[in-house]
Structure 1
Amino acid sequence: MKTIGAAIGLGLSLAGCAATPAARPAAVGQVAVPYNPIGLERVIGQDAASLTRLFGQPDADIREGTARKLQFQGRFCVLDAYLYPKDGQPPRVTYIDAREPDGSTIDRASCVSALTRREGGK
């Protein structure tokens, strides 16, 4: 009986020494919004001239090699359109990202819709 009690006591004391995985802190900041192309048909696949007709003059035009990023800012959101060339064709939008002016996440299609109504857009 003493042996069983000693074994249980030893087991319990060793269990406290076992390595336990560190708890991961909750992610702070933004939550990734899944990329959904619905509602983005007016933007995806367009060239820079088409975006300018749709939204007005970009607030930023950044080029890096053959890639280009056009940024459009409105009252409700900021839209980054990434244009890349393919098969010798002029650069076209292959991806867009959107956020509220404070950096929080916003639905991309909602941002596109809001920017088409901003002053300077058509």
Structure 2
Amino acid sequence: MIRLAAPFSIILLSGCATAVGSAPERAAPVPIPYSGVGLERVIGQNANGLVRLFGEPDADVREGNARKLQFQSQICVLDTYLYTKGTAEPRVTYVDARQPDGRAIDRASCVSALTRREGGK
């Protein structure tokens, strides 16, 4: 009976061992909550309104009846998505923002920064 108990206890104790020097797990990035606060100057604008606000876009992508105007500075990149509703002129319905390296940034802060960039008004 002693012979069976020894291997069994080794098996049980081996589950308690941890690797020495192993790095702790990295936590997932905290998502930034999205709200419309600070986006009032952008949501609902047409392309001409965006050009008046930010200057000429750095990218203008069209796909079907959708259009994306992209504005960027050293601080951030702002993607504005314009869609038509019926026969009306395309208007901004959604805005996304990121830092130039791809990290998240508050959308309203990006809008504010872009209105101060050279070329914007």
TM category (shorter chain) comes to 0.7 to 0.9
Secondary structure of 1:96's partner? strand
Residues of 2 paired with 1:27 and 1:82: CA distance? 32
5+ residue gaps in structure 2? Answer: 1-7, 16-24
Q: Deviations over 1:34-63 (max 9, x none)?
A: 220000000000000000000000000000
5+ residue gaps in structure 1? Answer: 1-8, 17-24
Q: Is the 8 A contact 1:79 1:97 kept in 2?
A: yes
Structural RMSD (CA): 1.9
Residues of 2 paired with 1:32 and 1:57: CA distance? 30
Residues of 2 paired with 1:121 and 1:101: CA distance? 18
The 5-angstrom pairing of residues 13-32 of structure 1 reads 31-32=30-31
Q: Displaced runs of 4+ in structure 1, greater than 3 A?
A: 25-28
Report the TM-score when normalising by structure 2.
0.76
Secondary structure of 1:49's partner? helix
Report the TM-score when normalising by structure 1.
0.75
Residues of 1 paired with 2:27 and 2:87: CA distance? 41
Residues of 2 paired with 1:63 and 1:97: CA distance? 17
Q: CA deviation at 1:70?
A: 0.3
Paired-residue identity, %? 69
Q: Is the 8 A contact 1:31 1:105 kept in 2?
A: no
- Relative to structure 1, is the Cα distance of residues 75 and 83 closer, same or farther in structure 2, using a 3 angstrom cutoff? same
Residues of 1 paired with 2:76 and 2:120: CA distance? 14
